[in-house]
Amino acid sequence: QPLEPWLLRCLVCPLSRRPLRYDEASKELINEELGIAYPVLDGIPTMVPEAARTIQKRPPTEGSAQP
């Protein structure tokens, strides 16, 4: 089941404090900036950094600020 839109607007990455993108196919919350994905198990986001898996980072878009 997909996450409720209001819940997704409230959730942020515990490491970067940035918004997350929900990937319905993999049932994960994605932080593309850090290249990690948090699992969503039985509709419950698992927002523990130790539970995250590493994914390939997306290249920065043109005009985006580099840290």
What is the residue type of 61?
Answer: T
Strand boundaries in 1-67, DSSP class E: 21-23, 28-31, 36-41, 44-45, 53-54
Q: Is residue 5 part of a domain?
A: no
Domain contains 33: yes
- Residue 48 falls within a domain, yes or no? yes
29 lies in some domain: yes
- Please give the residue range of the domain that contains residue 29: 20-57
> pTM for the complete prediction?
0.79
* Domain assignment of residue 62, yes or no: no
**pLDDT one digit per residue (tens) for the chain, 67 residues:** 678 899 999 999 999 999 999 999 999 999 999 999 999 998 899 999 999 999 986 666 665 554 4
Domain count, the chain: 1
> Is residue 46, in this structure, part of any structural domain at all?
yes
Task: Confirm whether 63 is domain-assigned.
Answer: no
